[in-house]
Amino acid sequence: MKQNDFRILFFSALISLIGLAMIFSTGGSNYLLKQTIWLVLGIFFSLLVSKFSVRFWSAFSFLFYLLCLLATGLVLFYASGYPRRWFNIGFFSLQPSEFTKIGTILFLASYLSERKKLEKFADFFIPLLIIALPSSLIFMEPDLGAAQIFFPIMCVMLFWAGMPFEKILIFFSPLISAFTSFSIYIWLGFMVIFGIFVYSRKKLTEILYHIIINPITGLITPLIWHSLKSYQQKRIIAFLSPWIDPKGISWQSIQSKIAIGSGQVLGKGFLSGTQKKLEFLPERHTDFIFSCIGEEFGLLGVLIVTFMYILLFYRLLRIAHETKHKFSSLVVIGILTWFWYQTFINIGMTLGILPITGVPLPFISYGGSSLLACFLAIGIVLSIQRGKY
């Protein structure tokens, strides 16, 4: 048995240190102190958790999952404030949805690792059920940013467990059909191209799926949408994207782009971002912290941060690849997808290429629960890695 390879812990801690510097720059010493305490706790728990065996994670995965569901359910009743996301415990508050990501990944991995073949269409439905429960509870908080993350995690884990990529694509085609249906030409294009693809595979269930379910979702969605009153549509849009600035749809996005763009190559220097100083940038220590990195350290800062994320993600992917134990491998892939998806969505949002949904940047955004959950996940990967060799 080999000793632990602490590189992933090292990368994570390094990214978190950049986060600490940015939190000081955007939020001041008060936020810095709190986040530092969380970081120390996070590393401590990470090391603690790494002592457990893979068998432990696998044996208790269902229990973890149930506990997480219970916590996310309870937060809807006992949360402090609105949205109902946090438990207030003395001096700090906990956000169960962050930990639910871990519980769901463990249970999904344990379920998928016991399946031999993943070729039937029905193989989708149980994983979908597993993620739908926590996802809809979190959706009710409401926290769309956290609720949506379970879908990419499920897809990548299914893929890793052996489900062909095309299957996943076909399964999700009704969603594509619904989204494209607002323009009849795009929708017809999708139906034709996708149809050719499905018919070439000559599988009856898939063809039936394409000629029944896709047209139904595609035709019904615009009908439902247009039958709604305009205030109902507005309510749905507002509900789906609660972070939209009530005073102007794209103000945050504009300010974020100015911040990043004005950083140019080398940035304005640490603590000298003008955008954040003038309070132009809302949520600058949480969801929009990347904008401040771009402003104060320029393209250089962006390169360094993204490079460190790539290193971390490649390392995780390699661990998943080299682990022969199926459950362990799936857990690592689930965790990787979680970090990767959040990073991409968050940065994409600050660059103005993705809609604004409140997703924290892993290891960097201010927030105790998010940081602690990330380090717990790293701890689990460490324990898996130990069992590998």
Partner 1 sequence: MDPELKKYRFLQIAILLSFVLILFFSFKLQIFEGKYYHRLSEENRIKKKYIIAPRGNIYDRYGRVLANTRPAFYVSIIPALAEQKTITKIAQIFGIDTTEIKKKFKIEKNPYVAIKIVRDISFKQVSMIEEHRSELAGIEVGVEPVRNYPYADLFCHVLGYVSEITDVELKLMKEYKIGDYIGRTGIEEQYEKELSGKDGIDYVEVDVLGREVGKVAEYRPVPPVPGDDLYTTLDLELCDSTAQLLKPYPRAAVVALNPQNGEVYVLYSKPGYDPNRFVRGLKAAEWNALINSQDAPMFNRATMSCYPIGSTIKPFLALVALDKGLIEPKKRFEPCTGGLRLGNRIFGCWKIHGSLNLVEAITHSCDVYFYQLGKFLGIDNIAEILYELGFGQPTGIDLPQEKGGLIPDRNYLNKKYGRSWTEGHIYNLSIGQGDILATPLQLARAYTLFANQENVLVVPHLKLHQPPTIKKINKNIEALQTVREALHRVVLVGTGTLARVYGYEVSGKTGTAENPHGEDHALFVGYAPTEKPRILVCALVENAGHGGAVAAPLVGRIIKIFSEIEKRYSHETE
Q: Identify the burial level of 139 via C-beta atoms within 10 angstroms of its C-beta, where 0-12 means exposed, 13-18 middle and 19 or more buried.
A: middle
**Residue from the set 31, 87, 209, 251 that interacts with partner 1 by CB under 8 A:** 251
Residue 364 near residue 289, CB atoms below 8 Å:
yes
8-state DSSP, 120: S
Q: How far is the CB of 339 from partner 1 (least distance, A)?
A: 10
Given the complex with partner 1, which of 178 and 330 has the nearer CB atom? 330
In sequence order, what E strands does 35-107 have?
A: 87-89, 92-94
Given the complex with partner 1, which of 43 and 349 has the nearer CB atom? 349
Q: Is 308 in the site for partner 1 (CB under 8 A)?
A: no
Q: Is 160 in the site for partner 1 (CB under 8 A)?
A: yes
Q: Is 190 in the site for partner 1 (CB under 8 A)?
A: no
User: What are φ and ψ of residue 65, in 5° steps?
Assistant: -60, -45
**Residue from the set 254, 283, 304, 325 that interacts with partner 1 by CB under 8 A:** 254
Q: Is 260 in the site for partner 1 (CB under 8 A)?
A: yes
Q: Is 40 in the site for partner 1 (CB under 8 A)?
A: no
Q: Is 344 in the site for partner 1 (CB under 8 A)?
A: yes
Q: Is 235 in the site for partner 1 (CB under 8 A)?
A: no
Count interface residues toward partner 1 (CB under 8 A): 47
Residue 233 near residue 217, CB atoms below 8 Å:
no
Q: Is 340 in the site for partner 1 (CB under 8 A)?
A: yes
Q: Which two tokens stand for residue 319?
A: 């661990």
Given the complex with partner 1, which of 88 and 232 has the nearer CB atom? 232
Number of separate helices (H) and strands (E) present in the chain: 18, 2
* DSSP secondary structure, 280-348, as one string: -STTTTTTTHHHHHHHHHHHHHHHHHHHHHHHHHHHHHHHHHH---HHHHHHHHHHHHHHHHHHHHHHH
Q: Which stretch binds partner 1 (CB under 8 A): 14-22, 41-49, 113-121, 256-264?
A: 256-264
Q: Which residues would be at the binding site for partner 1 (CB under 8 A)?
A: 156, 159-160, 162, 165, 246-251, 254, 257-265, 274-275, 278-280, 294-295, 298-299, 302-303, 306, 309-310, 313-314, 317, 321, 333, 340, 344, 347-348, 351-353
